[in-house]
Amino acid sequence: MSEFNKLSLDAVQEEGFKPLRKTFSEGGNRNNHTSTAPGSFKFKDPLFDYYKYIDYREEIYVNRLREAVAIKSVSAWPDHRQEIFKMLEWTAAWTEKLGGKVQLYENPCKTQQLDDGTTIPLPPIMLGSFGNDPKKKTVCVYGHLDVQPALLTDGWNTEPFELTEIDGKLFGRGSTDDKGPALSWLWMVEAFNELKMDLPVNIKMIYEGMEEYGSEGMFETVNELAKPGKFLSNVDFFCISDNYWLGKNKPCLTYGLRGMSYFEVGVECSTKDLHSGVYGGSVHEAMTDLVKLMSTLVETDGTIKVEGVMKDVAPVTEKEQEIYETIDFDLKNYAEEVGVTTIGEARLRHDNKKDLLMARWRFPTLSLHGIEGAFSDPGAKTVIPRRVLGKFSLRLVPDQDPKQIAECVTKHLNAEFDKLGSPNKMWVKAHHGAKAWLSSTDHPNYTAAAAAVEKVYGLAPDMTREGGSIPIATWLEDATQMNVLLLPVGACDDMAHSQNEKFDRKNMVNAIKVLGCYLFEIAKIKGPKPSECRCEPISMEDMMIPGAFARGFRCKCEI
């Protein structure tokens, strides 16, 4: 099909179009499109043809996702490293085919050293662009094309790298995290091309292949490309679709993420493992010390016992509390989702929506993850391990600093170890850390996305935070000082990182619709391009200038 003309509903159906189940073919909200003029077939929404085109191409998008899922781009599998190169090249070829410009930017870290000392090449970062009109604003989208490991024997019901549809759900590794959402931007551009519609903004893409394994080289890349005159220097807005809705049906926008500090505490008591029957009672055991130390970190109710951790937590505002009141969230469904309904007393830590969501998103937590070096295989082994490592992490919130948290944790564990009077060797190691990220729901980037979601789905999105961490959001914002939007397009039960990962067919289609609509809403934003305007926001004194309020000044350069 070389051209998609304006078609009546009957004509579209004759070409093979079938409306999506449980969704309107007009984009989700029929009232947004029908005209009130008697006998008229005129539609208010200029994107009506765009929505129709997306519906018409639904099967094509499924087949393309099937191709992408079949590429086993697992960043944690060294022997599959070439598959990541293949996936990046596949996406680059599509970008060029659709009229975009592409550069496979060399990863600044070049190689990755494996545990055995050998090195393998790190994949490049794909930089793509559509349009370069200086009069238009520029939106940069981030995505990743690598995936988590997956084997049928892990508990999958279907082959993880063969996209399989069951009841409108597309099962396959990477379907929702993040191949499906990342590729949706390309299919959006293709639709604009076929409909002979100009892109309302310039689009840039920065796609990596190591996100699931630490994003090695991305921090350096972002900071280099943000320098004046380089790839990211003229970006006005960022958009990331790499997280999920709070529920299964209602869309949301995410404006906050927790940061993280990851630790290990080690204790060593001998140069070798010992038989508990022969040596038990004669040595100070490392495991005993470690269990004591880990028990001093957190109470069973979740209260963090490390002094100084809570002192920098930003206070909750009244406006913030109001956001939680309107969020669509069911505690009973959540309890079933996390699997506590058949365990013990089947209780969550909080019995109301606001407190539970704030505990998940708004306040820091400390979680114990495991002990390395201890016997954990089936059966019985009466060993005294010579060396054990306890793994734990804290999820951080504004305004906590990972460096300050590391100091608090190290000081706490040293003090607690001194209390034991143990002769054993103890150490604390702080691994990776990242600050929390927080945006504003009032920012034009968010109001544009909210308008797009409402047009496609027929309802305003919830504004949510998340307990997890997406470091790229902070890196992009810190390097460029431009706003980052998290625009999830998948449901809470998509099972990213788990067995049976899936992307609902209807969400795949609506994702492409929302992205196109979002760009139109961005184009409506008045005022100078944010990347060219580095003014501080106007003050109340500035607003007193005659005519300032009426003319809607946003910054000093407009006065």
Q: Tell me which of 83, 146, 208, 212 is the catalytic residue.
A: 146
Give the total residue count for the chain. Answer: 559
Distances (CA, A) of 167 to 64, 431, 502: 19, 42, 11
**Is 211 among the residues known to form the active site?**
yes
SS3 assignment, position 325: helix
Contact 509, 525 (CB under 8 A): no
Residue 510 CA to residue 374 CA, distance in Å, equals 48
Helix, strand, coil percent content, the chain, rounded in steps of 5: 35, 20, 45
Residue 469 CA to residue 464 CA, distance in Å, equals 14
Q: Tell me which of 208, 211, 289, 501 is the catalytic residue.
A: 211
Residue 205 CA to residue 100 CA, distance in Å, equals 10
Sign of the CA dihedral running 88, 141, 76, 109: positive
Residue 138 CA to residue 201 CA, distance in Å, equals 6
Which phi and psi angles does 141 have, rounded to 5°? Answer: -110, 140
Distances (CA, A) of 69 to 235, 387, 489: 30, 41, 18
**The tokens 């000392």 sit on which residue?**
117
Element counts in the chain: helices (H) and strands (E) = 17, 20
Residue 485 CA to residue 469 CA, distance in Å, equals 14
Q: What angle do CA 210, 220, 258 make, to 5 degrees?
A: 70
SS3 assignment, position 264: strand
Contact 473, 241 (CB under 8 A): no
Residue 506 CA to residue 494 CA, distance in Å, equals 13
Distant-in-sequence, close-in-space partners of 240: CB < 8 Å, separation ≥ 6: 141, 142, 143, 470, 472, 473, 484, 485, 486, 487
Residue 149 CA to residue 413 CA, distance in Å, equals 34
Beta strands per DSSP E along 193-328: 202-208, 237-240, 252-257, 259-268, 274-275
SS3 assignment, position 334: helix
**Is 521 among the residues known to form the active site?**
no
Distances (CA, A) of 55 to 12, 183, 244, 488, 514: 10, 16, 23, 20, 13
Distances (CA, A) of 543 to 239, 334, 546, 548: 31, 46, 8, 5
Residue 457 CA to residue 30 CA, distance in Å, equals 10
Sign of the CA dihedral running 521, 523, 528, 529: positive
- Tell me which residues are annotated as active site: 146, 211
